[in-house]
A = this chain, B = another copy of it.
Amino acid sequence: MGLGGGWDAKPVSRANIAQANDCVNTALESGINFFDHADIYTLGKAEQVFGEVLAQRPELRKRIYIQSKCGIRFSDDQGPKRYDLSADWIRESVEGSLRRLNTDYLDVLMLHRPDPLMQAEEIARVFDELRSAGKVHYFGVSNMHHHQIAYLQQALDAPLVANQIEASLLKQDWIDEGVYAGNSDGQDINFNAGTLEYCRREHMQLQSWGSLAQGLYSGRAVSDKSEAVIRTSVLVAKLAAAYNVSPEAIVLAWLIRHPANIQPVIGSTDCGRIAGASQAGNITLSREHWYALYESAKGMELP
């Protein structure tokens, strides 16, 4: 959720809250009841405006799932931008999220990025504490590979339920690492082989961020972009017409078609895009269309 205005110090406005209400309404009407947050989104304001919505309509809380994330800290007088998965910071971050969101609990708390200094046992203790206090029901991770996840998991009492990775028709590394296994053309791919398989085997929900590829294939002006982008946005429009859905739905349907069962996170705060994107669940791309989109966006034939 990119709610709350910009990543700046401006206070939350009435307009921000109205927009949040609209987004939530559109989402619920579209069958979306899972909301993705992070302590840092628009510097806390995304959670804050969402909290205003919940304050106005407390009956909503039980009908929805709220996920937030902790662990990224921006440059401040103590240090540069950094990751912090110490027990103290996880605890402090969750308290802040709960306060801003006007809620007693998070359905899911994610560790936003892997902190090289993280200690599984320390994290296990604070997870335990947060779960016992009823403040967090489930835990997950983001931007981690399976070795990091397994390292954390061995110390935890309950299974990590989700891993949120960057994945879209534009950011294809998660597919390419497998397709280009051992291939000279694959040397610039950066996605850890084995992570998809681990998450599937362990029944961790894969979530994608950047799912809509910044709107690149669904309406953004692309005349100054690469041939591949231009051609793909035309193909997306054509398929949208053929499947009778929005272009956004085609872009997400491409993610959903993968057997790893990906749950796309929609970053947009535009009601039209949210409603359009929600149509992705109504269709199943044919295998041929899936490959046509994949190769068109890649801009080259498969090996």
Contact = CB atoms under 8 A, between A and B. Distances in A.
A112 to B, nearest CB: 11
A263 interface: no
A113 B166 contact: no
A55 interface: no
A211 to B, nearest CB: 14
B290 A145 contact: no
B291 A82 contact: yes
A143 B81 contact: no
Given A175-B116, A193-B192, A288 B182 contact: no
B80 A301 contact: yes
A26 interface: no
A191 interface: yes
A289 interface: yes
A292 B80 CA distance: 6
Contact of A287 (B81, B84, B113, B166): B84
Interface string A127-156: 000000000000000011101101100100
Nearest to A285: B117
Interface in A250-303: 257-259, 287-292, 294-296, 301-303
Contact of A290 (B117, B148, B150, B291): B117
A178 B148 contact: yes
A25 interface: no
